[in-house]
Chain A
Amino acid sequence: MTSGGDTPVASTESVTMGPIIEVADITTTYPIRRESGGRAATLTAVDGVSLAVARRETLGLVGESGCGKSSLGRTIVRLIDPASGRISFRGEDITQLSHRRLRPIRRDMQMVFQDPYASLNPRSTVKQILTEPLRIHRLGGAAPDTRVRELLDVVRLPTDVASRRPHEFSGGQRQRIAIARALALEPSFIVLDEPVSALDVSIQAQILNLLDDLKRELGLSYLFIAHDLSAVSHISDRVAVMYLGRIVEVGSRDDVFLQPQHPYTNALLSAVPSRGRSGPARRRIVLHGDLPSPLDPPHGCRFRTRCWRADDRCAEVDPPLVPSGVGESMVACHHPGVETAGTLAEHGSGPRTIGDAL
């Protein structure tokens, strides 16, 4: 479960204690109004997803915009209510809990958002931002100042910034404040939704390292949502790949990145520039077309309209998520396999390159 992880304790615990959070067959929908005619329609953002995050594990969730990854993250912590399915936190079913009964559980699961400019109240001081969760949960305690200093210390910010306001900080420092706020209630599970996407490269590394340290020091579990595969690859123990509301592949970081089975995973990985590092150049798979509308997903396999392996069966039978034979990996594909230059040539209508397009 934690291949490549450096805490062997984590894997034993994760086996013996069960996952910190588990969702089964979750569906998240949004009612929307179509422009023409104004007839109501339903957009299914998350469509029957099952996932588990083990204790002290980081599960990376990757996919492109509109694939439903943020909706899934918000549904898991019940910021959005699922249309169907079940969410268990520490083994307790929280799907139907009222907001009042959810409150003590919310303490234990927190969220950090992409944009620290939008997620911090510009009129509050850092101290107010960090003590607000304590106030809401009536955990004021005797010495809020001490707690604020502790939290700033944990995210490696100087403790004398408590009286400043968000605009006085850079993007990376704001994200540290947002992380400190998430830590204020000592959660065990945090959903990180694109936490480094808005930051510059040199600052991204600082935040990724901080998140890694905090996970180790505080024994946290993360759901790390991102579109940036290299960030996900760096921080994750396991990785789930999402396409049009479904998980198409999930497995250990090494299995998914080194032996990707789903054609979409293969295409995503091939699109990551190799950054001039040594080693064989990846052959880039250029997918044709855009993401289909989640309002009207293709029948059968949802990826088939952009897939070079698709045949008649893919149009008829929706492939279930099943063990792929690689480690613990699961894949939802009728034709799984690692794409190589050789296998690319075999497909008559192989992935399009720009040469073909012209």
Chain B
Amino acid sequence: MTDSPESGGTSPILQVDDLVVRFRGGGRVVRAVNSVSFSVYAGETVGIVGESGSGKTVTMLSILGLLPSPPAEVMSGTARLFGEDLLAASPSRLRELRGQKVAMVFQDPMTSLNPVIKVGEQIREAIWVHDRDGSKVDHMARVVELLDLVGVPQPARRAKQYPHEFSGGMRQRAMIAMAIANNPVLLVADEPTTALDVTIQAQVIDVLMEAKRASGAATVLVTHDLGIVSEIADRVIVMYAGRIVEQGPTAALFAQPRHPYTIGLLASLPSIDARQSRLYSIPGQPPNLADVPSGCPFRTRCAVGRTRTRCSTEQPELIPVEIGHAVACHYLDDVAAWAESDPFREDEPISGAAP
């Protein structure tokens, strides 16, 4: 929060520039991430939102060196963690950084924990890997302290249990404990609550935020859930078809979204606070990433750009509209006028099956 980009002067913890990631296979090239650039500053929480296939997860996995290659290929770009380019780092250097400076929490805690090793042992191992000279007793004490911090009741007893003896919410707490074990500077959480029930989601989000406070790590939260992002992120990055289409401070972006995709996405959410007679729905489907439309990738679903030549020929760049708020759209004024005209009534016909 304190080192937000607006305050200036501080350099980011993580700076990603012009990242391009492709997948090759079956004679097709899937352009998963296209010219993505963003920064993460100390202590802040950045939400990366988008639907399936938007490139949000691939972006973070490629930065952390966790994509299998082949089929994945980082075509260009840099991702500097305190100035060190992760995309150029050796596998051994990446292993050193992961779990220490950078830590991750994934969606499914059942598949990320080893089912035949006690939970406490797994967390102890994560500590030992980065502190091989420490004593086992000290490490185990730290494990219990961490489990206590993330709200696992009776942590000393629970540390001796296996993952299947933990509920989904408890497993995710254990994953968070493991992630912050070495006081990382950057915590990447990929859909950390998606597999959980509503009341357990609330618990895990609170634990995640407490873990972030306790460790001081900047957090990147990758999710499709705009609700969670609106509650905990300081800044939001919206991705569509492998590109960033809008980014800005959370309050500004939710109060006044500028990109037609962001506008449509927010309008399509049902709300429990207000009764809408009809939901807005963005017409059509997200594009197939092996065959992305020319120009603006959103134009085929866009009320403003669907028929305009410039949208089909020229890829819009991210242009700042306010401090820290940038949008990739050629016709911002027309989009604003369209949003004002209360377009959220027509349900447009669905054209064609997916290729």
**A residues engaging B (CB < 8 A)?**
4, 6, 64-65, 156-158, 161, 164, 168-170, 172-173, 176, 200-206, 208-210, 212-213, 227, 229-231, 233-235, 253-254, 257, 267-277, 279, 284-287, 290-291, 353-354, 357-358
Using A169-B354, A200-B224, A287-B203 as known contacts, say yes or no to A205 and B197 having CB atoms under 8 A apart.
no
Could you tell me if B349 and A268 are in contact, using CB atoms closer than 8 angstroms?
no
Most chain B Cβ neighbours within 10 Å, of A169, A173, A203, A212? A203
Q: Which residue of B lies closest to A207 (CB)?
A: B281
Interface size bucket, B side? 35 or more
Contact of B5 with A by CB under 8 A:
no
> Nearest-CB distance from B281 to chain A (Å)?
4
B224 and A229: CB pair below 8 A? no
Cα distance A286–B76 when bound, in Å?
44
Q: How far is the CB of A116 from chain B (nearest CB, A)?
A: 13
Residues of B within 8 A of A (CB): 51-52, 149, 151, 167, 169-170, 197-203, 206-207, 209-210, 224-228, 230-231, 250-251, 254-255, 264-266, 268-282, 285-286, 347, 349-354
Among A172, A235, A272, the residue within 8 A (CB) of B227 is A272
- In the complex formed, the residue of B with least CB distance to A208 is B279
Distance of A204 Cα from B226 Cα, bound (Å): 14
Can you offer 15 A-B residue contacts whose CB atoms are under 8 A?
A: A64-B197, A157-B353, A158-B350, A168-B354, A176-B350, A200-B224, A202-B264, A230-B270, A233-B272, A268-B198, A273-B230, A354-B203, A354-B210, A358-B149, A358-B151
Contact check, A233 vs B271: say whether CB atoms are below 8 A apart: yes
Identity of the chain A residue whose Cβ is nearest the Cβ of B236 in the assembled complex: A276
Given known A201-B226, A274-B230, A354-B207, contact A64–B285 (CB-CB < 8 A): no
Known: A169-B354, A229-B198, A286-B202. 15 other contacts (CB 8 A): A158-B352, A168-B354, A200-B51, A201-B224, A205-B270, A205-B279, A206-B350, A227-B198, A230-B269, A273-B225, A275-B226, A276-B255, A285-B202, A290-B170, A354-B207
**Interface contact B227-A273, CB-CB below 8 Å:** yes
A234 and B52 contacting across the interface, CB-CB below 8 Å: no
Contact B167 A170 (CB under 8 A): no
Chain A residue at smallest Cβ distance from B169 = A290
Q: State how many angstroms separate the Cβ of B173 from the closest Cβ of chain A.
A: 10
- Shortest Cβ distance from residue B186 to the other chain A in the assembled complex, whole angstroms: 22
Tell me if A173 and B353 are in contact (CB < 8 A): yes
State whether B352 touches A234 (Cβ < 8 A): no
Task: Indicate if the CB atoms of A234 and B51 lie closer than 8 Å.
Answer: no
Residues of B close to A157: CB separation below 8 A: 350, 353
B149 contacts which chain A residues (CB < 8 A)? 358
Taken together as a complex, chains A and B put the C-alpha atoms of A235 and B276 apart, in Å, by 10
Min CB distance, A22 to chain B, in Å?
Answer: 27
Q: Could you tell me if A212 and B278 are in contact, using CB atoms closer than 8 angstroms?
A: yes
Q: How far is the CA of A6 from the CA of B58 in the complex (A)?
A: 44
Q: Which residues of A contact B281 (CB under 8 A)?
A: 202-203, 205-206, 209
Most chain A beta carbons < 10 A, residue from B209, B265, B271, B349:
B271
B268 close to A205 (CB less than 8 A): yes
Which single member of A200, A231, A287 contacts B270 (CB below 8 Å)?
Answer: A231
How far is B173's CA from A35's CA once the two chains are assembled, in angstroms? Answer: 26
Question: Residue B353 contacts which of A164, A229, A254, A290 (CB distance < 8 angstroms)?
Answer: A164
* Complex contacts, A253 vs chain B, CB 8 Å: 275
With A64-B198, A201-B268, A257-B272 as given contacts, are A170 and B230 in contact (CB-CB < 8 Å)?
no
Give the complex CA separation of A203 and B51 in angstroms: 10
Residue of B with least CB distance to A196: B270
Contacts of A357 in B (CB 8 A): 151
CB contacts (< 8 Å) of A210 on chain B: these are 347
Question: Complex formed: what's the CA distance from A170 to B170 in Å?
Answer: 34
Return chain A residues, CB-CB under 8 Å to B347: 156, 206, 209-210, 213
* Pick from B201, B273, B278, B285: contact of A172, CB under 8 Å: B285
Residues in A neighbouring B169, C-beta threshold 8 A: 290
Shortest CB-to-CB span from B169 to chain A, Å, is 6
* Contacts A290-B169, A354-B209 given; does A275 touch B198 at CB 8 Å: no
B349 adjacent to A156 (CB under 8 Å): yes
Asked if residues B354 and A173 are in contact (CB atoms below 8 Å), the reply is yes
Q: Report Cα–Cα, A204/B231, bound state, in Å.
A: 21
Set of chain A residues within 8 Å of B351, measured between Cβ atoms = 158
